[in-house]
Structure formats: structure tokens, C-alpha cells
């Protein structure tokens, strides 16, 4: 069974600085998808970024980028130029499509003004 | 992006009553929808996979007679919590993926807060 591990329960970053959230996963599949979701206080799950395992190029969405290391089964999220609105719970997830997502336990990110 | 709605957004009910939660994909069709439950400060826990036109698949430990799921159309899945008790109080979230195929992003509804008194 697939598992997702987020080893940082809480992180903090100064406004305008850069922060990296860690995620590792375990799977025997060769083709899969990885996601980072953000859950603000409203609790709405918002897609931040998605990575397809067969693509070597790291995904990037504006200030958000990932460092995908397939051999190491590592999928970290880098947030550049952090903003107050980035404060939220961040969940790393494996799966997608017509298969259920497997979530990590989440990392609570605080942004300090 | 794809939009998923949930109704109601929050509900308070008395112990022993049943509560129905609707999950709709507004601008795409979904053969599969998922129901998750989330306790405060915890991650999402998959309850069941809802399949259009067939029976739902429940995760181990989830009582299918208590959490009834009906996926009546390609845009609607319902979760009914039967004979609700205070321990059923939680945040329930659904998700769906556009029908196009595997690997598509799952989009989440805004969630339903259930409080059973």
C-alpha cells in the first residue's frame, strides 16, 4: 500500500522569505501522480501543484515549485516570496484520477509579518 | 478549474436523526467521487469511493449501513449519515475528478460541518 509521510508538523517563515516543506512517499508503481494541497482556515482544499511521475521536469506554479526526486521518493514543496495568505495546512498527496488520494498528515505553515 | 459543491455547508442535528449531504460536480462529469472525513487538526481520512451506477466501496472500519452513499448520476453523489450520534460529528469532504481518465487532479467540495447534539 502507498504511504505518504510529512515529517514537519509545523513550519514558520518570514514574509517574503522562502520555505521548503518536505514529503516522502512509498510506492511500487512506476507511473503515478503527486500533489500538494493547501487547506486554509476555511478548510477548502485547494490544489497548489501537481507532478506527474513520468516527467523528469519539476513542476512550477508561480511562487510554488517542487523538487521531485523519483529514486529517493521525495517530493518537497518550495514557496518563494512567502505571503501572509500562504499561511495554511499543506498536505502532500499521492494518487489522483479515479483512485483515492493518500494524504500525509500535513504541515501547518505560519507566515510571520 | 473544475468546481465541486457540497450542500449543506454545515448542519446541526439531534442524536438519532439522519442527515444527507450532497456533492455535485458543477462543470464536469465524474464517474467516481470520494468521501473523506476530517477531525480537527488531522489529515483527511478516506471513507468510501462512490461509483456512478454501482455500489460504493467502503474503507475498512467504515460502517456501510451507517454511512449510505448513492451516486445517482455523473454529477451527484450523496452521503447519508443514518441515526447520527455525537461521535459522528466531524467535517465531511467530497472530491471528484473529471471523467477524462487516470491521473487527473481531484477537486474538492468546500466540506460539510456536522454537529450531532
pLDDT at B117 over 60: yes
Model confidence at B99, pLDDT cuts 50, 70, 90, reads low
Encode pLDDT of A1-30 as tens digits: 789 999 999 999 999 999 999 999 999 888
Q: Do strands A99-103 and A46-52 pair parallel, antiparallel, or not at all (unpaired)?
A: unpaired
Q: What backbone phi and psi angles, to 5 degrees, belong to B86?
A: -55, -30
Predicted pLDDT of residue B97: 81
Q: Which residue of B has its CA nearest to A33?
A: B103
Encode pLDDT of A50-106 as tens digits: 999 988 899 999 999 999 999 999 999 999 999 999 999 999 999 876 788 999 999
Rounded to whole angstroms, the Cα distance separating B35 from B99 reads 17
Q: In what order do the strands lie in the sheet with B67-73?
A: B4-7, B19-25, B76-81, B67-73
Burial class (CB in 10 A: 0-12, 13-18, 19+), B5: middle
Model confidence at B103, pLDDT cuts 50, 70, 90, reads low
Predicted pLDDT of residue A42: 93
Q: Which residue of B has its CA nearest to A96?
A: B103
Nearest-by-Cβ selection for B43 from A42, A47, A105 = A105
Question: Which one of A29, A41, A45, A55 makes the best mutation probe of the B interface by having the most chain B beta carbons within 10 Å?
Answer: A45
**Angle at CA of residue B36, ends A61 and A40, nearest 5°:** 45
Structural contact between residues B11 and B17, judged by C-beta atoms closer than 8 angstroms: no
Model confidence at B94, pLDDT cuts 50, 70, 90, reads very high
More confident residue, B103 or B106: B106
User: How is residue A46 written as a grid cell?
Assistant: 485547494
Q: How far off is chain B from A85, nearest CA to CA, in Å?
A: 18
**Which residues, including other chains, have CB under 8 Å from residue B106's CB and lie 6 or more apart?**
A35, A96, A97, A101, B34, B95, B96, B97
How many cross-chain Cβ pairs, A to B, lie less than 8 Å apart?
59
Encode pLDDT of B32-88 as tens digits: 899 999 998 899 999 999 888 888 999 999 999 999 999 888 899 999 999 999 999
Q: Does A96 touch chain B (CB under 8 A)?
A: yes
Tell me which residues of chain B, numbers 47 to 106, contact chain A at a CB-CB cutoff of 8 Å: 49, 91, 93, 95, 97, 101-106
Predicted pLDDT of residue A65: 97
Beta bridge partners of B23: B6, B77
Rounded to whole angstroms, the Cα distance separating A21 from B56 reads 35
Predicted pLDDT of residue B60: 94
Q: Where are the strands (E) in chain A, listed by range?
A: 3-5, 10-14, 19-21, 24-26, 33-39, 46-52, 60-61, 64-69, 74-79, 88-96, 99-103, 107-112
Amino acid at each position: 500500500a502507498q504511504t505518504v509521510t510529512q515529517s514537519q508538523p509545523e513550519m514558520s517563515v518570514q514574509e517574503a522569505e522562502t520555505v521548503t516543506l518536505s514529503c516522502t512517499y512509498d510506492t511500487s508503481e512506476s507511473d503515478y501522480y503527486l500533489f500538494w494541497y493547501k487547506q486554509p482556515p476555511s478548510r477548502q482544499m485547494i490544489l497548489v501543484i501537481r507532478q506527474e511521475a513520468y516527467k523528469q521536469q519539476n513542476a512550477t506554479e508561480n511562487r510554488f515549485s517542487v523538487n521531485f526526486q523519483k529514486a529517493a521518493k521525495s517530493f518537497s514543496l518550495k514557496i518563494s516570496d512567502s505571503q501572509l495568505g500562504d499561511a495554511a495546512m499543506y498536505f502532500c498527496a499521492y494518487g489522483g484520477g479515479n483512485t483515492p488520494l493518500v494524504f500525509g498528515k500535513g504541515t501547518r505553515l505560519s507566515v510571520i509579518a | 478549474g473544475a468546481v465541486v459543491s457540497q450542500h449543506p455547508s454545515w448542519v446541526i442535528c439531534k442524536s438519532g436523526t439522519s442527515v444527507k449531504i450532497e456533492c455535485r460536480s458543477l462543470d464536469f462529469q465524474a464517474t467516481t467521487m470520494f468521501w473523506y472525513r476530517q477531525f480537527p487538526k488531522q489529515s483527511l481520512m478516506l471513507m468510501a469511493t462512490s461509483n456512478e451506477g454501482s455500489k460504493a466501496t467502503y474503507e475498512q472500519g467504515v460502517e456501510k449501513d451507517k454511512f449510505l452513499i448513492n451516486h445517482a448520476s455523473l454529477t451527484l453523489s450523496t452521503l447519508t449519515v443514518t441515526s447520527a450520534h455525537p461521535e459522528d460529528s466531524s467535517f465531511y469532504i467530497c472530491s471528484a475528478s473529471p471523467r477524462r481518465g487516470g491521473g487527473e487532479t481531484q477537486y474538492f467540495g468546500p466540506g460539510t460541518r456536522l454537529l450531532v447534539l
